[in-house]
Amino acid sequence: SQTIHQWPATLVQPVGSPLSLECTVEGTSNPNLYWYRQAAGRGLQLLFYSVGIGQISSEVPQNLSASRPQDRQFILSSKKLLLSDSGFYLCAWSVPRRAKNIQYFGAGTRLSVL
Amino acid sequence: GENVEQHPSTLSVQEGDSAVIKCTYSDSASNYFPWYKQELGKGPQLIIDIRSNVGEKKDQRIAVTLNKTAKHFSLHITETQPEDSAVYFCAASRLTGGGNKLTFGTGTQLKVEL
């Protein structure tokens, strides 16, 4: 069966520090991968998505970047965190070219930038 | 791009009553509409979905209806139970070959009171 792992679960970082959040998927090949941010009381904002190794599409201009160094690994990074980067970050995957676009989410990372 | 609006933002019902959450979308080319349930501190999970060639779909106490002409769709939960308390998100998508992005609504906090 397929599983998605996301870590760390919680993270407290000072303003100006770097960030690296990792997401890995098991049990499937060549998945579509996604990074979302969920601000308190708001919906899910798509930040990045990837359809293959090294292929990253950015949805919104921001202080963050994403990379996909391996087929089932998706990394969210920042060189210098801002206060506004605080939020709940979710990684998700889906099976490409299917009749349905079901996305499976990880448990999320709660990031607090102080 | 697609824009999804969701109402209400909060909904409180008595146990056993029905709950209805409504969403509208802007892109007439969207043809896939899932609903996700997010429990506290967890990632969202798919609970039901509908494609544009169907007007209604039921799964036990949960149903979704779609009006393509008006571009709106709704989630209906009957005989609500305390475990139904969560945040519910609607989403819309075009079932295309690449990316398969979902545009989410802003969420509805459902509280089922005893």
Task: Kindly determine whether residue B100 and residue A99, on different chains, have CB atoms separated by under 8 Å.
Answer: no
The pLDDT, as a whole number, for residue A105 is 95
Is any Cβ of chain A less than 8 angstroms from the Cβ of B45? yes
CA angle A39-A61-B106, nearest 5°?
A: 30
pLDDT over 90 at A113, yes or no: yes
Residue with the bigger pLDDT between B96 and B79: it is B79
The pLDDT, as a whole number, for residue B38 is 95
A24-57 pLDDT, tens per residue?
Answer: 999 999 999 999 999 876 789 999 999 999 999 9
Q: Which residues from B are below 8 Å from A96, CB to CB?
A: 97-98, 100
Task: Evaluate whether B88 touches B110 at the Cβ level (below 8 Å).
Answer: yes
B48-79 pLDDT, tens per residue?
Answer: 999 988 899 999 999 999 999 999 999 999 99
The pLDDT, as a whole number, for residue B97 is 52
- Widest distance between CA atoms in chain B: 45
Residue with the bigger pLDDT between B43 and A96: it is B43
**Residue B70 CB-density burial (10 A; 0-12 exposed, 13-18 middle, 19+ buried):** exposed
The pLDDT, as a whole number, for residue A86 is 92
**Residue B1 CB-density burial (10 A; 0-12 exposed, 13-18 middle, 19+ buried):** exposed
β pairing state of A87-94 and A104-105: antiparallel
A55-87 pLDDT, tens per residue?
Answer: 999 888 788 999 999 999 999 999 999 999 999
The pLDDT, as a whole number, for residue B26 is 96
Task: Evaluate whether B80 touches B21 at the Cβ level (below 8 Å).
Answer: no
pLDDT over 70 at A114, yes or no: yes
CA angle B77-B79-B83, nearest 5°?
A: 75
B32, B36, B43 ranked by CB distance to A101: nearest? B32
The pLDDT, as a whole number, for residue A41 is 67
| Average pLDDT for chain B | 93
CA angle A36-A99-A76, nearest 5°?
A: 20
A97, A100, A105 ranked by CB distance to B32: nearest? A100
The pLDDT, as a whole number, for residue B83 is 96
The pLDDT, as a whole number, for residue A34 is 95
Is any Cβ of chain A less than 8 angstroms from the Cβ of B107? yes
pLDDT over 70 at B24, yes or no: yes
Nearest to A62 by CA among A89, A43, A41: A89
Cα separation of B107 and B10, whole Å? Answer: 8
